[in-house]
Amino acid sequence: MGAYQHILLAVDFSGHGGTVAQRAKDLAEKYQAKLSVIHVLDNIPMPDTGYGTVIPLDKDSCYELLEAEKVKLMQIGDQLGVAQVNRWMVWGAPKQEIVELAERERVDLIVVGSHGRHGLSLLLGSTANSVLHYARCDVMAIRLLNG
Ligand code: AMP
């Protein structure tokens, strides 16, 4: 049995995601581990009413955005050969949702890019940094130099 049994790839669909995805796939093959993939929806506008999360005002454009994100997740899942049940699209703050899913699904390695949409000027992007701090399993940040 390999060192890792369940690897979680976090994807934000930024330009260099392919490098990160390929590394996660290689690791899953090397360790014969289960591979899961998560995308957190954090860019779909949700009005803050003070009563928690509610349906967005413009339902049609929100639905289109959701569908587009889902298609991208399915494409990555197909490319990597990830089983349908291991493809996750959740709503919320990426740093929190990635760590929570990893705990719930007994992931032992999370793979993220060192930068995504949020952190090109930093050594480590904000999501990557947070996951590294709060995850209770190993985290591999794939170093990405350029956007
Ligand atoms: P950041 O720290 O936000 O620049 O992003 C670094 C890495 O965190 C990305 O390369 C992804 O692996 C992961 N990440 C960022 N945002 C998301 C998201 N919305 N859903 C899933 N993973 C994400």
pLDDT, tens digit, for every residue of 8-51? 999 999 877 788 999 999 999 999 999 999 999 987 665 555 55
Tell me how far the alpha carbon of residue 14 lies from the centroid of ligand 1, in angstroms.
8
Q: What is the pLDDT of residue 145?
A: 72
Residue 118, phi then psi, degrees to nearest 5: -105, -5
Domain of 72? 6-143
Mean pLDDT of the chain: 86
pLDDT in tens, 78-103: 999 999 999 999 999 999 999 999 99
CA 11 to centroid of ligand 1, rounded, Å: 6
Q: Is 127 in contact with 36 (CB distance < 8 Å)?
A: no
CATH number reported for the structural domain that contains residue 49 in this entry: 3.40.50.620
SS3 of residue 87 by DSSP: strand
- Dist. CA 129–CA 134, nearest whole Å: 9
With vertex at residue 80, the alpha carbon angle to CA 112 and CA 28, rounded to the nearest 5 degrees, is: 65
Q: Give the position of tokens 């793979």.
A: 111
Quick one: pLDDT band at residue 137, thresholds 50, 70, 90?
A: very high
Nearest atom in ligand 1 to the alpha carbon of residue 113 is 10
Using a 6 Å CB cutoff, which residues line ligand 1?
10-12, 20, 38-40, 42, 94, 98, 112-113, 115-119, 125-128
How many residues appear in the chain?
147
Residue 53 is assigned to a structural domain of this protein:
yes
Residue 1 lies in a domain: no
